[in-house]
Amino acid sequence: MARPAHFSRFNAAMVATLAVLLLAWTSLALHAPAFRALDDLSLTPHLTPRSPLAQLSEAFAIVTHPAVMILTSLVLAYRAWQRRLRHLAGALAIAAPLAWLAAIVLKLVIRRPRPPSPLGDAITYSGYSYPSSHLAVATCLAVMVVVTGTISRQSRASLIGWRIGLCCVLAVLGVNRLVMNAHWFTDVIGGTLTGALVAALVTFFWRIRMLPPPAAPVDERRGLVAVVFNPTKLADEALLRRQVADEAARAGWRPPLWLPTSEDDPGHAMTRQAIERGASLVLAAGGDGTVRVVTGELRGSTASCAIIPAGTGNLLARNLGVPLDQADAVRMAFHGRARPIDLVRVTVDHRDDEPVWFTGMAGIGFDAAMMSNTDDNLKKAVGNAAYVVAFTRELGTKPLRIQVRVDDGPALRRRALLIMVGNTGSLQAGIELFRGARPDDGELNLLLASPRTLGGWARLARAVIQRPRNSGAVDYYEGRRITVRLLDGPASWEVDGDTQGTGSHFDFRVEPGAVQIVAPTGRAVRPGPVASDGEA
């Protein structure tokens, strides 16, 4: 899993401070006479076996066993992944297990025996003593819960409440380990420091920002920020609203204008409303369809577009290097640099007054049928794997007889099963369908292929991966205008994963630099002015 680009000095300082504290505490716990006096308190039995208090203490120790807390952290990680907080999900998944492993390694190195206990047959009374595994994992999990609240932009009162509550739980757990005579006093503190250090290391490694910069004064020159979002694509709309409002305030923007799309309108009227209201930044939060509509409506305007990926494909976001982690994408929207990219204008069956604009790729025939037959519920459950099921249903499709013209070149007749026109180069999983293609190169890319068997598809995949130019399995063409005419009658077609109906004559034209997109600094896209409205 990729890490976000930003760096937190606060996390680095916490790692260094906690590492020093753990080393110092461990040395004092093992060698300082004053600390031995504290540990001697654990030589006195505190509970009577099988008494009600002893049974309650043993039950609490089992409920807070490291294995139980690790399972809890994995559940939190899964929930974070569903909410598109991918870096947080990775940190949650690894933190608690790593804290347990660190405690076990320290136990084996130090090999400190446990104090004598009347509850020596308890499940949680085994192995070496220093540091306490219970406290190590519990502290690590507590810190990660606070991190989750911070990333989720919970209110200040909520975060304070969580911190107080978690500190109380840790205190009760520490007392429980001492009352059961399961640990020496220094073991409990050592476990707490171990868990805190591991949590700090994980947040540092994943570069999760814990202390965001203070809010900047509102700069009226920035204009308005509008959010055109697809509610059906968002796993947690309230979370997105908190993140956007927080980042907008910290960057000096006014409170954002929220414009949800609808089943009848995927974003056309909403984007036009944002422009009419004077928005200088429009966030497109949704899948490729939402991004396509928003960028098409922003064509030629002075407003910039930032992408908050919330779909399955997110092709333009992947090609521009926009983070797929929601928190990072929102942060980049307000701190990235706007730059122009190309749009593609396609007209079908000579209906010039009904153009469709797209940013990524379009497919005719097989590809569109596969998209149309992909079950939406299955796609929500298993993601891109749902396309595999639809792919197998279309394997018997026959190639189409087509006539193709690139720019002012001659008309070429072909039989093709796969007809793809691209403005971007890469698909999911880093597969480069059009090698070297960029969304700002002023060129269109055409792929024609006719695989009929699984072996043919394998040869096509090998040709795409190994050879960017024409081969026996695939033909590539490049140009500023591409026309495709189907000689056997209309077939279905799609753009950026959304099926558009059927057609038999397709005219694709690129409009260079038609829209400004906020993207990470350093990506291979050309800076330059926004092109004026009109055909290329």
- Residue 197 has φ and ψ, to the nearest 5°, of -65, -45
Bridge partners, residue 515, by sequence: 341
pLDDT value for 437: 86
* Segment 74-94, tens digit of pLDDT: 999 999 999 999 999 999 999
Strands 257-260 and 224-229: parallel
Q: What does the pLDDT look like over 399-434, one tens digit per residue?
A: 889 999 999 999 999 888 889 999 988 877 667 788
- 226: pLDDT confidence band, cut at 50, 70 and 90? very high
Return the closest-CA partner of residue 82 out of 243, 235, 288: 235
Q: State the Cα–Cα distance between residues 536 and 377, nearest whole angstrom.
A: 39
Cα–Cα distance for residue pair 61/134, rounded to 1 Å:
8
Burial of 489 per CB tally in 10 Å (0-12, 13-18, 19+) = exposed
Share of the chain above pLDDT 70, in %: 85
pLDDT at 262 over 90: yes
Structure-token pair, residue 6? 């930003």
CB atoms closer than 10 angstroms to residue 306: 24
The three-state DSSP-derived secondary structure of 155-207 is CHHHHHHHHHHHHHHHHHHHHHHHHCCCCCHHHHHHHHHHHHHHHHHHHHHCC
- Compute the distance between CA of residue 106 and CA of residue 309 in angstroms, rounded to an integer: 42
What's the whole-number mean pLDDT along residues 232-261?
93
Higher pLDDT residue, 137 or 34?
137
pLDDT, average across residues 17-25? 96
Mean pLDDT on 126-145: 96
57-66 tens-digit pLDDT: 899 999 999 9
Tokens of 465: 């991966």
CB 45 within 8 A of CB 181: yes
Residue 443 has what DSSP assignment?
-
> What are 105-123's pLDDT values in tens digits?
999 999 999 999 888 778 8
- Cα–Cα distance measured from residue 130 to residue 183, given in angstroms and rounded to the nearest whole number: 8
Q: Cβ of 403: how many Cβ atoms within 10 Å? A: 14
From the CB of residue 129, how many other CB atoms can be counted at a distance below 10 Å? Answer: 24
Tell whether omega for the bond before 97 is within 30 degrees of 0, i.e. cis. Answer: no
C-alpha 279/C-alpha 89 separation (Å) is 33
CA distance 480 to 434: 15
The full set of domains in the chain, from first to last, is 9-205 (no CATH), 220-335 (3.40.50.10330), 348-512 (2.60.200.40)
Higher-scoring residue by pLDDT: 154, 453: 154
Mean pLDDT to the nearest integer, 237-249: 94
> What three-state secondary structure class fits 278?
coil
- Quick one: which of 290, 312, 298, 246 has its CA closest to 517? 298
Asked if residue 272 has pLDDT above 60, the reply is yes
**Could you tell me which of 67, 1, 30, 83 has the C-alpha nearest to residue 327?**
83
pTM: 0.82
CA–CA dist 92, 90 (Å, integer):
5
**What's the pLDDT band for 457 if we cut at 50, 70, 90?**
low
Average model confidence (pLDDT) across the chain: 86
Asked if 30 contacts 106 with a C-beta cutoff of 8 angstroms, the reply is: no
Strand partners, 338: 518
